[in-house]
Chains A and B, each alone.
Chain A
Amino acid sequence: MNLALRDIRHHRSRFIQTCLGLGLLLGVVMSMSGIYRGLFTDATAILTATAADLWVVQQDTSGPFAATSRLPEDVKYRIRAVPGVAQASALSFQNIQSDRNGKPFRFFLVGYELGGLGGPPVIVAGRPIRQKHYEMVVDRAMRLPLGAKLRLADDDYTVVGHTAKMVSSAGDPVAYVTLADAQKIQFQDDDNAIRNNRARLAEQISRLPFLAPAQAGQLAPQVAAIVGSTHIVNTVVARLAPGADLAEVQARINRWNHFRPLAVQDQERILTEGMIKKAKMQLGLFRAILLVISGVIISLIIYTMTLDKLRVIATLKLIGTRNRVIVGLILEQSLLMGLIAYAVGYTLIGLTHDKFPRRVDLVPVDLVSLFVIVLVICVAASLVGIRKAMRVEPAEALGN
């Protein structure tokens, strides 16, 4: 006859309620760990999906995610020519905020070269972009169905495919267009500014005293073309050939003096230690606090459960019940409670983690360590209860 189970059977509803409550709490702890992990996964989602070895950005910047980086598109040709580089592509990144049904609607637009690096990693519905213009692959989270049209910079873009869980380091869903389209979108708004700039440039050049009017007339449009070029990208990413030496490739690009070749690890560090550090610390701290709170609550519940039973334990001792049985009563019950609560929390999060607005990554090592922690707390709390129980005098069963 198992006393722990008999006691639970008798206090069935109370036990179930306690397990459910604890389960919710453990579910929150699990989701907190998941959000903590998800933050990292999200922050590095584009980095991971691009799978490049090298991120070449503007000199003295930590772009393209953490800072603005602008470089001419044609740098990619120079980079491709560097020995050891197998593949190099230009990428453009921009945040876009527009309105949909009166609500602000944010996403992160990636422009990539068809067939190059940095495009949508996995298409979960529809197809990849095939046309050079006006096609778009968006993340499911944008809630734009296949075939939907989105107006950007006076052009309609058709959604041809969906990705899943592709977000920017800020957590906004990602949309993909071709690099040419992205550049058009990026600089369209500046059209007026560019025209004004050109006019001002032409005027300034024409006033240069050492230039003949004819020379000035020839020079002005060329200068304007360079200044107003839309062939600007935010980064050029490269993959190295097998066996190529990363440091050597970096050194060579460094010698050009205009660009900064960041290894993927550097980029990861910038993203995780710079951009999301505070958020991560905040979440980590919150997770630790929650764990401590759970520990205290579990211990209190188990301890109270034991206190409630002191009279029963005294009676059991009086009729000669062995300590083993009494220890079992306390220990088995608290372990069972911990197990059930864990299962409840796990089921809950398993069913809901996909519906969280941001990514919740349930990582086995987190789940297993939480499981072990819960068991340890249960055992530790039981031991306190057991100590108390062992000190109970059988005479206490006689008190009226």
Chain B
Amino acid sequence: MYAVQIERLTKIYGSGATEVVALADATFDVAPGELVAILGPSGSGKTTLLTTIGLVTEPTRGRVVLDGELIVDNGWPPGLDLKRVRREKLGFIFQHHNLIPFLTTVENVMIALENNGVSTKEARARSMELLESLGLSQRLDHYPSLLSGGESQRTAIARALANRPRIILADEPTAALDTENGKNVMRLLKALAVENDSAILVVTHDHRMVEGFDRIFEVSDGRIVGERRNGSDNA
């Protein structure tokens, strides 16, 4: 069973003269534990691809199957609890880490667990453990404003991982970091894909960041224009 299947996924913003085809007929599958990069210049539709998969942007057409559950079939079915699917199956990481500014590091991770009904006490214990494994044991009670870029991103990763989601979606997670920290974050994501058997989709426009990925999709003008496996060119 695939972790992610998309079929002819299309997103058109606006209509008539202002119409923008942000994503056109994207089709691919991602297996559990697979580490996939989506590479393309700015404005090529990478974020749109990720957010339609992540149930944040409603696609105009096409299908999304997450973890075997058909979620999207030409638009969101009415009555579907998107939040439930997001909190149970998905973890998000963004360029701007999007931590909650009034929660400490450990609380930022706890909230994801509590969203899924984990008790505060257990959530705290598990979050601390997770953060410690990411090297943040000295930062547990800091507010996000006091964290470095790398620390913030690692906290966001911990939050995305807390519920052991089947699918992790990361949009330019290294863009706000220097090369060194960026590579560290990518290494971390790779290790997690293996360890948790999660499918990880990482969007980036930086070629240097994608070495060691299982598959790389190249996106241009909303279309998938190339696919490489383990560095080999299959386009």
Pick from A7-15, A256-264, A266-274 the stretch touching chain B. Answer: A7-15
User: In the assembled complex, how far is the CB of residue B78 from the closest CB belonging to chain A, in whole angstroms?
Assistant: 17
Answer whether A398 and B94 are a contact pair too, CB < 8 Å, given A1-B120, A10-B143, A312-B101: yes
- The residue on B at minimum CB distance from A318 is B92
User: In the assembled complex, how far is the CB of residue A397 from the closest CB belonging to chain B, in whole angstroms?
Assistant: 5
- Across the interface, do B115 and A319 meet the contact criterion of CB distance under 8 Å? yes
Q: Find chain A residues with CB under 8 A from B171 CB.
A: 398
| Residue A355 lies at the interface, judged by CB distance under 8 Å to chain B | no
Considering the chains assembled together, what is the distance between the CA atoms of A259 and B112 in angstroms?
85
- The residue on A at minimum CB distance from B116 is A320
Answer whether A1 and B107 are a contact pair too, CB < 8 Å, given A318-B86, A320-B87: yes
Q: Find chain A residues with CB under 8 A from B143 CB.
A: 10
Considering the chains assembled together, what is the distance between the CA atoms of A395 and B86 in angstroms?
13
User: In the assembled complex, how far is the CB of residue A159 from the closest CB belonging to chain B, in whole angstroms?
Assistant: 62
Considering the chains assembled together, what is the distance between the CA atoms of A350 and B216 in angstroms?
71
Tally chain A residues at the interface, Cβ within 8 Å. Answer: 23
Answer whether A6 and B83 are a contact pair too, CB < 8 Å, given A1-B107, A398-B56, A398-B94: no
- Across the interface, do A395 and B111 meet the contact criterion of CB distance under 8 Å? no
Considering the chains assembled together, what is the distance between the CA atoms of A393 and B86 in angstroms?
14
Q: Find chain A residues with CB under 8 A from B88 CB.
A: 320
| Residue B84 lies at the interface, judged by CB distance under 8 Å to chain A | yes
| Residue B174 lies at the interface, judged by CB distance under 8 Å to chain A | no
Tally of A-B Cβ pairs under 8 angstroms: 70
User: In the assembled complex, how far is the CB of residue A304 from the closest CB belonging to chain B, in whole angstroms?
Assistant: 16
Contact with A along B81-121 (1 / 0, CB 8 A): 00110111010101110101111000100111011100010
| Residue A322 lies at the interface, judged by CB distance under 8 Å to chain B | yes
- Across the interface, do B114 and A1 meet the contact criterion of CB distance under 8 Å? yes
Considering the chains assembled together, what is the distance between the CA atoms of A7 and B101 in angstroms?
8
User: In the assembled complex, how far is the CB of residue B164 from the closest CB belonging to chain A, in whole angstroms?
Assistant: 14
User: In the assembled complex, how far is the CB of residue A119 from the closest CB belonging to chain B, in whole angstroms?
Assistant: 64
Contact with B along A305-342 (1 / 0, CB 8 A): 00000001001111111100100000000000000000
Answer whether A397 and B57 are a contact pair too, CB < 8 Å, given A1-B114, A319-B111, A320-B86: no
Interface size range of chain B in the complex:
20 to 34
- Across the interface, do B115 and A318 meet the contact criterion of CB distance under 8 Å? no
- The residue on A at minimum CB distance from B94 is A398
Q: Which of A3, A6, A395, A398 has the most CB of B within 10 A?
A: A398
| Residue A394 lies at the interface, judged by CB distance under 8 Å to chain B | yes
| Residue B159 lies at the interface, judged by CB distance under 8 Å to chain A | yes
Considering the chains assembled together, what is the distance between the CA atoms of A309 and B110 in angstroms?
19
- Across the interface, do A316 and B56 meet the contact criterion of CB distance under 8 Å? no
Considering the chains assembled together, what is the distance between the CA atoms of A396 and B206 in angstroms?
24
21 example contacts (A-B, Cβ-Cβ < 8 A) are as follows A1-B114, A3-B103, A7-B102, A10-B101, A10-B102, A11-B102, A312-B100, A312-B101, A312-B102, A316-B111, A318-B56, A319-B111, A319-B115, A321-B115, A325-B115, A393-B56, A394-B86, A395-B56, A397-B94, A397-B98, A398-B171
Q: 7 closest A-B pairs (Cβ-Cβ)?
A: A320-B87, A10-B102, A320-B86, A7-B102, A320-B83, A315-B98, A395-B56
Interface residues, chain B, with chain A CB atoms under 8 Å away: 47, 51, 56-57, 83-84, 86-88, 90, 92, 94-96, 98, 100-103, 107, 110-112, 114-116, 120, 123, 143, 159, 171
Query: Besides the contacts A7-B102, A320-B90, what 11 more A-B pairs have beta carbons closer than 8 Å?
Result: A1-B111, A10-B101, A10-B103, A10-B143, A312-B100, A312-B101, A318-B98, A319-B87, A320-B87, A321-B83, A322-B83
Interface residues, chain A, with chain B CB atoms under 8 Å away: 1, 3, 6-7, 9-11, 312, 315-322, 325, 393-395, 397-398, 400
